Amino acid sequence: MDKKLLLKNGLDENKLPSHIAIIMDGNGRWAKKNLWKRIKGHYEGAKTVDVITSFCAKIGIKHLTLYAFSTENWKRPQKEIEGLMGLLREYLDSKKEVMLKNRIKFRILGDTSVFPDDIKKKILSTVEETSALDHMTLNLALNYGGRIEIVDAVKKMMSSGVTPDLVTEAAIEENLYTHGIPDPDLVIRTSGEVRLSNYLIWQTAYSELYFTDVLWPDFREKEFVDALKDYARRERRFGKTGDQIKAGEKI
């Protein structure tokens, strides 16, 4: 943890979220605003991914989950999808060494079986080679949908013979893509949209939500720090009263 960086930005290490999930929205609008093709916006958005991932690793955020490609994104123009696949290839090729150097564990949330074989191999290689790293976990949501995740969890439970009396919240969580990862404390969405868009809909039941009009390619450390400061000012009660929390009762 870089305590000097925390101090410089006015952040309290005791009030940081452990898990941050981000809906990286606005790449296309950024490109349109700047008179570029949409894929240029996605490449600029990838630069923001680098900035935010690096900043999280430095200040001690343990889990970062990025909504990179949803199950609905296949409806986009074929040319844009091909461009996104190319960007994903480049990301996997160029960032593995960075993850290894900074001890960042890489995980995928979603169904990657539909991706081209070369991408699946790159994903598997990166996941396997970083599996023992423990400084931070970077989760990339690819071909991900919150409802499909729950459907898949139910199917896994049924195929393993789980009977109705054994269906519990814990049992469902054990079969989600995020098993072993704590629920997000904070969800950030850029670009001014105010909805979750089928993102981690089970896991975000008690997450704090932060929406900003800033487009993802323009979202940098300053904007991220603003979100962290906003989170630090909130009181998370999980159904209890404020007085109970102040009295030190466990959540």
Write the CA distances from 164 to 156, 171, 173, 175, integer angstroms: 14, 11, 15, 15
Among 68, 86, 83, 56, residue whose Cα is nearest residue 197: 68
User: How far apart (Å, rounded) are the C-alpha atoms in residues 65 and 178?
Assistant: 10
User: How far apart (Å, rounded) are the C-alpha atoms in residues 202 and 109?
Assistant: 14
Annotated catalytic residue, options 9, 73, 102, 198: 73
User: How far apart (Å, rounded) are the C-alpha atoms in residues 235 and 150?
Assistant: 29
152 a catalytic residue:
no
Write the CA distances from 5 to 9, 11, 99, 214, integer angstroms: 6, 8, 20, 23
Annotated catalytic residue, options 2, 9, 14, 25: 25
Helix%, strand%, coil% for the chain, nearest 5: 50, 15, 35
Q: Are 251 and 240 in contact (CB under 8 A)?
A: yes
Residue 191: how many CA atoms within 13 Å on its side-chain side? 19
Going through 84-227 in order, the beta strands assigned E by DSSP cover 104-109, 136-144, 186-189, 208-211
User: How far apart (Å, rounded) are the C-alpha atoms in residues 236 and 19?
Assistant: 14
73 a catalytic residue:
yes
Active site residues: 25, 73
